[in-house]
């Protein structure tokens, strides 16, 4: 698909009936998972929906002036808003937080691999989940 054609899926549910997933290229991952390769990485990580932020960290190859990844290391919610989503569930604004979330590390030169393999694989993961919509962040 060319860049001129913009894929656009209409929203078919009220927000209060939606399960929301986070997909982020900000380099967030579980401390127990393999860190991203700072030289470039086209892989992604699955983050369980019940994760606590103290189990998360950030690995990212960008210079700090392009992306200050030290900030989300202090509080992953700056790029991975899991606690805020949970607050919205409690408030009845959304139905649920997805059972899993997906992260990867942007700032990669392996663009062909990301376009050809990684992005479609992530889309398949989202499609197989029960998520109704996705919030994306990039750091």
Residues forming contacts to other proteins in the complex (CB under 8 A) are 1, 3-4, 6-11, 14-15, 20, 23, 25-26, 62, 66-72, 74-75, 77-79, 81, 83-85, 87-88, 93-94, 104, 106, 111, 114-115, 118-120, 122-124, 126-127, 131-139
Q: Shortest Cβ distance from residue 90 to other proteins (Å)? A: 12
What CA–CA distance (Å, rounded) separates 73 from 66?
16
What CA–CA distance (Å, rounded) separates 91 from 62?
36
Residues 27 and 106: beta-carbon distance below 8 Å = yes
Residue 45 is encoded by which pair of tokens?
Answer: 């990580």
Q: Shortest Cβ distance from residue 106 to other proteins (Å)? A: 6
Q: Shortest Cβ distance from residue 124 to other proteins (Å)? A: 7
What is the C-alpha radius of gyration for the chain, rounded to an integer number of angstroms? 15
Residues 79 and 85: beta-carbon distance below 8 Å = no
Residues 98 and 19: beta-carbon distance below 8 Å = yes
Q: Shortest Cβ distance from residue 30 to other proteins (Å)? A: 19
Residues 47 and 30: beta-carbon distance below 8 Å = yes
Which is nearer to other proteins, 51 or 126 (by Cβ)?
126
Which is nearer to other proteins, 6 or 32 (by Cβ)?
6
């Amino acid at each position: 698909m060319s860049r001129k054609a913009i894929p656009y899926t209409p929203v078919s549910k009220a927000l209060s009936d939606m399960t929301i997933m986070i997909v982020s290229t900000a380099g967030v991952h579980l401390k127990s998972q393999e860190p991203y390769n700072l030289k470039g990485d086209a892989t992604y990580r699955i983050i369980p929906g019940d994760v606590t932020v103290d189990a998360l960290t950030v690995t990212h190859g960008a210079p700090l002036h392009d992306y200050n990844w030290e900030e989300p290391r202090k509080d992953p919610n700056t790029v991975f808003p899991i606690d805020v989503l949970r607050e919205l569930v409690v408030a009845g604004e959304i139905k649920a937080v997805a059972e899993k979330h997906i992260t990867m590390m942007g700032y990669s030169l392996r663009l062909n691999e990301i376009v050809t393999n990684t992005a479609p694989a992530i889309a398949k993961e989202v499609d197989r989940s029960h998520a109704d919509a996705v919030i994306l962040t990039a750091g």
